[in-house]
Structure 1
Amino acid sequence: MDDDAKATLHRYLAGAREALLWKLEGLSEYDVRRPLTPTGTNLLGLVKHLACVEAGYLGGVLGLPFPEPMPWDDPGAGPDDDLWARPDESREDVLGRYARATAHADATIAALALDATGEVPWWPEERRRPTLHTLLVHVLAEVARHAGHADVLREGVDGAAGLRRDHDNLTRADAAAFAAHRERLEQAAREAAGR
């Protein structure tokens, strides 16, 4: 049962990772870095952040530290330095770190049983010693959440949307159908607001 559960969680994590990464494909250096929300959310920053998340929760927290420094290890680091790429960090630097962090996380997942425990010092005392199972669910939720952010951000940049590179899972086939659907939603919203 544990092997099946671990394999299922790992498969979904791999799918969420893939969904995140393809949102950067084909975009300019500017478009992957620029802030796309009032809070500064940006595509490359999401990947950089998730490299830190996976290296931490599926590495150091379980006693198998990632061998590279994290953004917050720099004495001059700001509180959000894991959420954006500095001009001197190339896209390849960030994507490479994410690939190494996910490989490290995958090795941790393979090496440990789901009931192996770790320690998360920044979590409340009553939850501070989670199992690999809990950490896998936590990381999967985090990666899927940010992959969803990336999907919406990418749609705003150039209209590309969908679940996967090979199958978008969208119900409408062309721009005209989406425009008609959007207009129907707009009309429904105006009617509801007018009541």
Structure 2
Amino acid sequence: MTPTGTNLLGLVKHIAGIESGYLGEVFGRPLSEPPAWFDDDMDEPNVDRWARVEETSVAIIDFYRRVWAHADATIEAVDLDATGRVPWWPAEHADVTLHQMIVLMIGETNRHVGHADIVRELIDGVAGLRPDFSSLPEGDQAWWANYRDRLEQTARQAATP
């Protein structure tokens, strides 16, 4: 995980939670069985960004699958121009369309998949599109260490007035 706690399972849990809100609750279609961490009484910081002891990876992934189905049902049932309201946003920005929320979720998902890619690289050192195809230069561990050092030195030199 990163110094701020970003981790793979937490990213899945977070994106599932925001998708259930933006493509469900906002359009009057809340989940019929929201997870316990949706409770406003939950007193854990960033509870949607990490798995508690009692939450299994299987349960979190299953929750995301249910959210996908629920979001798909919202997209099928609601016109793109239909309006909803994001109750946790400031009032002047709270009225939105389904189209806007779909675009927002594309951006959110894309951003968090990028985070997941970085965390995965920190875990196993794998980078690039696939093991059999990479847009990255070929290099062994020593080559990459030298490359990273050179980048850091260049950045430090550029920061020096």
CA contact (8 A) 1:72 1:78 kept: no
Of the structure 1 ranges 58-67 and 72-81, higher mean CA displacement relative to structure 2 is found in: 72-81
Within-5 A mapping of 1:23-34? none
Describe the shift of the 1:175–1:62 C-alpha distance in structure 2 as closer, same or farther (beyond 3 A). Answer: farther
CA gap 1:127/1:76 in 2 versus in 1, 3 angstroms:
closer
Distance 2:46 2:2 in 1: 15
Render the CA deviation track for 1:96-146: whole Å, top value 9, x for unaligned.
Answer: 101111121122123222111111111111211100111112222221121
Residue number among 84, 87, 93 corresponding to 1:121 in the alignment:
87
List, as ranges, runs of 4+ consecutive aligned residues in structure 1 with deviation greater than 4 Å. 164-169
For the pair 1:100 / 2:66, whether they are aligned, the reply is yes
Does structure 1 residue 59 correspond to structure 2 residue 59? Answer: no
Which residue is 1:37 aligned to?
A: 2
Query: Could you tell me how far 1:167 is from its partner in structure 2?
Result: 7.7
User: Does the residue aligned with 1:152 lie in a helix, a strand or coil?
Assistant: helix
Return the offset for 1:191.
Answer: 3.2
> What's the TM-score, normalizing by structure 2?
0.84
* Counterpart pick for 1:69 among 31, 34, 57: 34
Supply the RMSD in Å over aligned alpha carbons. 2.4
Shift, 1:83, TM fit: 1.3
Q: TM-score, normalised by structure 1?
A: 0.70
- Structure 2 unpaired stretches of 5+: none
Between the aligned residues of both structures, percent identity stands at 51
Structure 2: distance between partners of 1:136 and 1:63: 16
Verify: 1:181 aligned to 2:150, yes or no: no
Name the structure 1 match of 2:77.
111
Q: Does the Cα contact within 8 Å between 1:58 and 1:105 map onto a contact in 2?
A: yes
Count residues with an aligned counterpart. Answer: 159
Partner in structure 2 of residue 46 of structure 1: 11
SS in 1 for 2:83: coil
